Each structure stands twice: as structure tokens, then as C-alpha cells.
Amino acid sequence: MRKALIILSVVLNVVLAVALYYVACVKTDFSKRMMAKIKHEAYVPERQDGCCVESWNNCIKKLDMEADVVFFGDSETAGGNFQKAFPEVKSINLGYVGEEVKGMLRRVETIKTVKPKKVFLMAGINGLRNQTMEEFEYWYAALVDAIRREVPKAELYIESILPITCYSDYCDNKKIREANAILQRMAAERNIQYLDIYSAYAHEGALPNEMSYDGLHLTEEAYEIWYEAIRKHIEN
């Protein structure tokens, strides 16, 4: 009887251990969260388009290409034709439509792959509406620090978040200005150059309607303001 109880106890412990492993490592992200905490790193949740991002990273890596300048960001960056605007330098556009700041942490390795001399970072508008300023600062700081770890010799430029039109409900320009104030302070604390692109576009606190086709994204002509705002930093 005692032997049977011991065997039963062992079996139950094994089942429990397997169940805990399944919950911690397969069903939830508990183990990854704990590992990130141990390493003092920001934990980035799995993303639904993870395979797409991984494939993109792999594709660029296999191309074995190098770039003078990397433009890293979301759809605002993706919509720019930087190579045409700055034909004298070899640039690569790593803008990803719909990307949030914490999602960009999974793409930082792509920057390292192309060995840039300069990195222009614009991010933060996606998800900002529902974030606290503390959450925004936490994830943006994690992204900036990750980029500096991966390409420590590259010059990093933090570009301000652009304004949106007064009729857009995607976010609030007041909150965008608060976020930009955080970015300016963050850049100063880390000895990084901060580029105030917001002010180049804002008119009476908002993006003029004629500069956007949907209240958020720039028209092709409106990108010229962005190009001119960063030109001296590209050419120097």
C-alpha cells in the first residue's frame, strides 16, 4: 500500500511538473517575462505577425547589404522615399506599417545587419492614444537602449512624433506634444540628438489638412518638409 502511494505521488508530481511547464513555457509567457526580469531587459510580448517580421529580418540579412543611413519607424517612415530625397547616400527604409514602439524591439537586429553609420528613429504615434506617459517612456527608452546596444558606433537621431490634423481622432496633439517632451528629455539624458520635426509641420497646434490624406499620414508633397528638416544631418 505504501509503495503504491509513493508511485502515485511520483506520478502526480510529474503530471504537475509537466502542467506547470506547459502553462509557463507554452500556454503563457510567464517564463519569458521572468527571464527578461532576470536580465534586466524589457519584455516584448509575442506578436501575431512574428513570422512575417522574422522572415523580413532574415531576408535583409541574407541580402548581405550595408547602408549609410537607416530610417527606422512605422508607417510614417514607410511612406517616405528617402533614397530619392538623398541620392548621395545609401539608405534603407525600415518602416513597418502599424508598428508600435514595443513591436519595434523585435526588429532592432535588422539595423545591426546593415551596419549603418546613422539611424533616424521615428515612432510612438501608434498606440499612444491608449498609453500612459509612463508606459510610453518605458517602451521608448527600451527601444533606444536596444538600438544603441546593437549599433553602438552609429549616430542615433530621435525624431519627434508628427502632429495630426485637428479632425483626426487617432490621438490628441496635446498628448503628442507631451510625448515629444519626454523624447527631448530622453535624448538629452542619453546624449542623443533630438530633431523637432513636429514644429516643422504644426500650424496652430495641428497638421494642416492639406498635408494629409487621412488625418494622420503625410501626402507625398508634405514629406518634402521632413526631408529638409533632416537634410543637414544626412549630408554632414
User: Lowest-pLDDT range, 14-23, 170-179, 208-217, 219-228?
Assistant: 14-23
Phi/psi for 122 (5° steps) reads: -130, 120
- Residue 167, SS3 per DSSP: coil
Give the sheet arrangement for strand 155-159, strand by strand. 91-95, 69-73, 118-122, 155-159, 193-195
Q: How far apart are CA 114 and CA 95, in angstroms?
A: 15
pLDDT greater than 60 at residue 215: yes
pLDDT at 66: 87
Say if residues 65 and 81 touch (Cβ distance below 8 Å): no
Tell me the torsion sign for CA atoms 136, 141, 142, 143.
positive
The tens digit of pLDDT for each residue in 125-174 reads 999 999 999 999 999 999 999 999 999 999 999 999 999 999 999 999 99
**Is the confidence at residue 71, as pLDDT, over 60?**
yes
Confidence band for 63, pLDDT divided at 50, 70 and 90: confident
- pTM for the predicted model, two decimal places: 0.80
CATH architecture of 50-235: 3-Layer(aba) Sandwich (3.40)
List the beta strands (DSSP E) in the chain: 69-73, 91-95, 118-122, 155-159, 193-195
Question: For the chain, how are helix, strand and coil distributed in percent, rounded to 5?
Answer: 55, 10, 35
- Between 55 and 161, the more confident residue is 161
C-alpha grid cell, residue 90: 545609401
Checking if the pLDDT of 201 tops 70, the result is: yes
Q: pLDDT per residue over 103-139, tens digit each? A: 899 899 899 999 999 999 999 999 999 999 999 999 9
* Spans of all domains in the chain: 2-38, 50-235
Question: Residue 24 above 60 pLDDT?
Answer: no
